[in-house]
Amino acid sequence: MAPPNDKVTPLSGPEKAVLFLLSLEEEVAAPIVAELTVTDLKKLREVASLMREVSKGSLDATYAEFIKRTNEAIAVPRGGLPYLKRLAVSSLGPRKASEVFDPTALPSSPLRRLEQAPPDAVASLLEAESPQLIAAVVARLEPRTAADILAALPSEQEADVLVCLAGMNDLPAGVLEDVAVAITEELPSPDAETLIAIDGVSKAAEILNAAGREQSTEVLEAIESQSPDLARDMRMAMFTFEDLRALDPKGMRDLMREVSTEKLTLALKDAPEDLMNAMFAGLSERAAKLIRDDLEILGRVRKSDIEGARREVVQVALRLEAEGTIDLGRDEE
């Protein structure tokens, strides 16, 4: 319900500032916003997100305080938060404005406390939560920190969390509210309708890479028992075709013996020169020359075919690593 038109509602300083800014034309307000600090803008953002309608009496009082005159009341001033965001972009530029208005950017203190707290203490806090909520939390942390926290959870829960994380495509910003309140009461409630784009498989793969081989192997085996396809996708995300350049000469020779010439030629189409040289080092001089010659006469190839061939080469490499034949350089940290 809108407030009576002449009722003067007491406003805080930030509320007055937001009301004043949002009642100005954009070209007038932009230079003012340019003089504000990021801290000031974040405070105004929080206030603007909560403001709805303002009575003429409140607007009159605010104008009287600022410039001593006004004649027009504004309900939901100029779109509120979106208008303030446009002002910030105009005056600060898109990059700096995104630091203030990005809905996924939670206040730093709760995340900083999680990053700095002992992993076992954080795990104890999260252990009673659902795997979905834990996945949402670790998705916001650095992979090394997330790996340490997950390692402190019961092993079966660790696998469940990574299954949930790998399946995430969109993360509701409001999903962190419950656990954030347990850490600090200073966290504002984010908009639960805001979706954060997340590549769950890639994020889970980053965490497993940070965890080291022993832990990641155990977790992947547990995930494979639930979803073999997901485990395969995560292994592929953890190691890419370009990573093969790190193979030692013996490992490269062992890998080349397992890959057909046709498949290798297709995989090397448009590959970086240093990667080709590394792979050719595992071949005889004659075999390397034949592939180079084939690459020179190979016509246009669909990108999907090249990527498919590269995936097959990586799958062979992962199989050889699992068999203990080659070392892909992912030692336990």
Q: Using CA of residue 311, residue 315, residue 318, residue 324, what is the dihedral sign?
A: negative
User: In Å, how far from its chain's centre is CA 91?
Assistant: 27
CATH 1.10.220.30 domain range(s) in the chain = 108-225, 241-322
Could you please state the CATH topology (level 3) that the domain comprising 241-322 is classified under: Annexin V; domain 1 (1.10.220)
The confidence score (pLDDT) of residue 313 equals 92
Comparing CA positions, the residue from 278, 212, 289 lying closest to residue 250 is 278
The confidence score (pLDDT) of residue 262 equals 92
- Please check whether residue 53 is in contact with residue 3, taking contact to mean a CB–CB distance below 8 angstroms: yes
CB neighbours of 240 closer than 8 A, spacing ≥ 6?
A: 314
The confidence score (pLDDT) of residue 173 equals 57
Residue listed under structure tokens 């949402």: 136
Could you please state the CATH topology (level 3) that the domain comprising 13-101 is classified under: Annexin V; domain 1 (1.10.220)
Residue listed under structure tokens 């590394």: 278
Tens of each residue's pLDDT in the chain, 333 residues: 445 556 666 777 777 777 777 777 777 777 777 777 777 777 777 777 776 666 777 767 776 666 554 444 444 455 556 667 777 777 667 666 665 665 444 444 566 667 777 788 778 878 877 888 888 888 878 888 889 889 888 878 888 999 888 887 766 555 565 555 555 343 334 444 445 556 787 778 778 777 776 777 888 888 888 888 888 888 777 778 888 888 888 999 999 999 999 999 999 998 999 999 999 999 999 999 999 999 988 888 888 889 889 989 988 998 898 888 988 865 544
Q: 108-225, which class in CATH?
A: mainly alpha
Residues 136, 150, 219: CA angle, nearest 5 degrees: 105
Q: What is the 3-state secondary structure (H, E, C) of the chain?
A: CCCCCCCCCCCCHHHHHHHHHHCCCHHHHHHHHHCCCHHHHHHHHHHHHHCCECCHHHHHHHHHHHCCCCCCCCECHHHCHHHHHHHHHHHHCHHHHHHHHCCCCCCHHHHHHHHHCCHHHHHHHHCCCCHHHHHHHHCCCCHHHHHHHHHCCCHHHHHHHHHHHHCCCEEEHHHHHHHHHHHCCCCCCCCCCCEEECCHHHHHHHHHHHHCHHHHHHHHHHHHHHCHHHHHHHHHHHCCHHHHHHCCHHHHHHHHHHCCHHHHHHHCCCCCHHHHHHHHCCCCHHHHHHHHHHHHHCCCCCHHHHHHHHHHHHHHHHHHHHCCCCCCCCCCC
The confidence score (pLDDT) of residue 226 equals 87
The confidence score (pLDDT) of residue 73 equals 43
Residues 68, 69, 73: CA angle, nearest 5 degrees: 130
- Alpha carbon distances (Å) from 250 to 272, 326, 327: 21, 8, 10
* Count of other CB atoms within 10 angstroms of residue 79: 12
Burial zone of 170 (CB within 10 Å; 0-12 exposed, 13-18 middle, 19+ buried): exposed
For residue 276 the two structure tokens come to: 């080709």
Q: What are phi and psi of 150, to 5 degrees?
A: -65, -35
- Alpha carbon distances (Å) from 23 to 49, 76, 80, 210: 16, 10, 10, 50
CB neighbours of 254 closer than 8 A, spacing ≥ 6?
A: 282, 320, 325, 326
